[in-house]
């Protein structure tokens, strides 16, 4: 399949929730959303000049639009994204909506409008994309949450919070510490005891946090309750995370992908692919150039549906995906985009000495193949220099792990790569509690990776 043929199929099928012979409802939502944004929202007034007009194909119209960035959101302010028929001040005063600020570094933070009813509806729709989630999750089930308290929960660095202070309705927040590197065995024992006492039907977790707890469960030979469903969210799920979690938990396991701005965008199915939540979003795809992994690898731009308070069009979530090469999934769900894997964040892409892009998932697959590695982080320190920090399992030999990690990284970056590896007892996450498994410390132009035929020069 040529690049142009592939792009046409991606635009028509992935963006609009299926083939042209299938339901046209998502196309109607795409049309209504775009025309409302261009006609009446201050944030998009400057986009009108890019629109080829109502007579053009809806996918062509979307492809001519810029990408919406967090910088754009900060510059315009939240009111610029609120439909004119809504009384913003009344919505805030009544509690129907509220301000929410995303976490992370300064360039990642943005203030959004939070509409809980829309968020809940988006989440419920995503559950239908995994058979066990559809059967087990109702929105009223007891749920335990294991993540950084800066993402969800109550932080407490001085001492510990009692059980009652970490209960909120049907939720139990298992952890109050920001850095899991500082967890003690007693703290993890408490988490296990509380899981067994609380008997949650579902467990939502940051994958690195749950992987660490799972290693403790296995080594301490603890018995732990098996929820009916485990949903991984908040950060990139490594192959290592899945492996360690599977050693302690036999419950159905799925990765949920979304963000504060866009709600629930993808949900992993029982066959291991991720499916688009077509009722609540449109997803546009912009491929990398072939030399950088395209046309199957590229970034996604998300447009939200059904949020009466906040219209987001072609938001650059900052992540890369790898499309399912067959286009269809063994699970039988074929509406919308089918993703074989999340490739990681664009800002975490590193480069080989020859300049070719290397995604986080490429590094993760190589590192996860080294037995004895429990945690890792890979930094690109110069054009051809890479430094890895690893945590070895108690049964592993650090010298052997270092040697094999070096070989694994050179298999990705090439023989010209200079690789150094050091071992430690634990690694700490970035704020607000998400591990960056791969990070470039050199200036890299991510725009150079894209196939310019399918990325608007205005994006």
CATH of the domain spanning 131-251? 3.40.50
**DSSP per-residue letters across 188-242:** HHHHHHHHHHH--SEEEE-HHHHHHHHHHHHHTT------SEEEE-SSPPPHHHH
Q: Are the C-beta atoms of 157 and 149 separated by less than 8 Å? A: no
Q: What is the pLDDT of residue 108?
A: 76
Q: What percent of the chain has pLDDT over 90?
A: 87
Look at residue 341 and tell me whether its pLDDT is greater than 80: yes
Look at residue 107 and tell me whether its pLDDT is greater than 80: no
Determine if residue 114 is left, alpha or beta; phi over 0 gives left, psi from -120 to 50 gives alpha, anything else beta: beta
- Among residues 34, 12, 35, which one has the least CA distance to residue 24? 12
Look at residue 22 and tell me whether its pLDDT is greater than 80: no
Where residue 6 falls among pLDDT bands split at 50, 70, 90? very low
Whether the upstream peptide bond of residue 432 has omega within 30° of 0, thus cis, is yes
Q: How does pLDDT run across 225-257, given as a tens digit for each residue?
A: 999 999 999 999 999 999 999 999 999 999 999
Q: What is the pLDDT of residue 119?
A: 97
DSSP 8-state class, residue 434: B
Q: Which of 3-7, 169-173, 217-221, 350-354 has the lowest mean pLDDT?
A: 3-7
Q: How does pLDDT run across 47-102, given as a tens digit for each residue?
A: 999 999 999 999 999 999 999 999 999 999 999 999 999 999 999 999 999 999 88
Average pLDDT value over all residues in the chain: 92
DSSP 8-state class, residue 46: G
Q: What is the pLDDT of residue 27?
A: 79
Quick one: average pLDDT of 270-286? 96
- Among residues 345, 407, 432, which one has the least CA distance to residue 147? 432
pLDDT higher at 15 or 171: 171
Q: What is the pLDDT of residue 12?
A: 32
Quick one: average pLDDT of 259-287? 96
CATH of the domain spanning 3-122+256-349? 3.40.50.12780
CATH says 350-443 is which class?
Answer: alpha beta
- CA 52, CA 37: separation in Å to the nearest integer? 15
User: Could you tell me where the DSSP H helices lie in 264-394?
Assistant: 360-368
Q: What is the pLDDT of residue 398?
A: 94
Tokens matching residue 219: 């080594």
Cβ atoms < 10 Å from Cβ of 83? 15
Q: What is the pTM of this model?
A: 0.91
Q: What is the pLDDT of residue 1?
A: 25
Q: What is the pLDDT of residue 25?
A: 57
Look at residue 8 and tell me whether its pLDDT is greater than 80: no
Q: How does pLDDT run across 176-232, given as a tens digit for each residue?
A: 999 999 999 999 999 999 999 999 999 999 999 999 999 999 999 999 999 999 999
3-122+256-349 and 131-251 have identical folds: yes
Q: What is the pLDDT of residue 314?
A: 98
Q: Show me where the domains of the chain are located.
A: 3-122+256-349, 131-251, 350-443
Quick one: average pLDDT of 440-450? 96
């Amino acid at each position: 399949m040529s690049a142009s043929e592939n792009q046409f199929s991606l635009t028509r099928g992935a963006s609009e929730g299926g083939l042209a012979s299938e339901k046209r409802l998502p196309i109607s939502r795409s049309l209504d959303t775009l025309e409302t944004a261009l006609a009446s929202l201050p944030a998009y007034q400057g986009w009108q000049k890019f629109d080829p007009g109502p007579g053009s194909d809806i996918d062509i119209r979307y492809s001519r639009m810029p990408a919406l960035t967090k910088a754009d959101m900060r510059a315009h302010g939240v009111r610029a994204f609120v439909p004119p028929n809504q009384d913003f001040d009344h919505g805030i005063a009544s509690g129907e909506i509220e301000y929410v600020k995303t976490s992370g570094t300064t360039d990642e933070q943005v203030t959004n409008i939070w509409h809980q009813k829309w968020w809940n509806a988006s989440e419920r729709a995503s559950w239908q994309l995994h058979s066990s989630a559809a059967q087990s999750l109702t929105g009223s089930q007891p749920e335990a949450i294991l993540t950084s308290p800066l993402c969800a929960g109550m932080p407490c660095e001085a001492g510990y919070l009692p059980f009652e202070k970490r209960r909120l309705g049907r939720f139990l927040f298992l952890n109050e510490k920001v850095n899991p590197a500082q967890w003690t065995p007693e703290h993890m024992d408490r988490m296990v005891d509380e899981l067994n006492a609380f008997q949650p039907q579902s467990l939502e977790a940051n994958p690195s946090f749950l992987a660490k707890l799972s290693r403790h469960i296995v080594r301490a030979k603890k018995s732990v309750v098996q929820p009916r469903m485990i949903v991984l969210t908040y950060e990139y799920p490594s192959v290592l995370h899945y492996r360690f979690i599977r050693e302690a938990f036999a419950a159905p396991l799925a990765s949920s992908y979304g963000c504060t701005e866009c709600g629930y965008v993808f949900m992993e199915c029982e066959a291991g692919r991720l499916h688009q939540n077509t009722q609540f979003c449109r997803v546009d795809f912009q491929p990398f150039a072939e030399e950088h992994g395209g046309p199957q690898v590229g970034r996604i731009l998300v447009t939200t549906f059904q949020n009466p308070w906040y219209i987001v069009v072609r938001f650059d979530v900052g992540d890369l995906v790898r499309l399912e090469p067959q286009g269809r999934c063994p699970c039988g769900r074929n509406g919308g985009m089918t993703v074989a894997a999340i490739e990681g964040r664009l800002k975490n892409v590193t480069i080989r000495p020859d300049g070719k892009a290397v995604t986080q998932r490429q590094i993760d697959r190589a590192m996860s193949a080294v037995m004895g590695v429990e945690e890792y982080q890979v930094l690109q320190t110069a054009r051809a220099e890479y430094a890895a920090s690893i945590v070895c399992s108690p049964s592993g030999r650090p010298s052997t792990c270092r040697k094999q990690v070096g070989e694994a990284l050179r298999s990705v970056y090439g023989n010209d790569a200079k690789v150094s590896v050091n071992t430690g007892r634990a690694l700490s996450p970035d704020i607000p509690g998400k591990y960056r498994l791969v990070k470039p410390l050199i200036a890299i132009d991510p725009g150079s990776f894209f196939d310019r035929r399918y990325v608007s020069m205005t994006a």
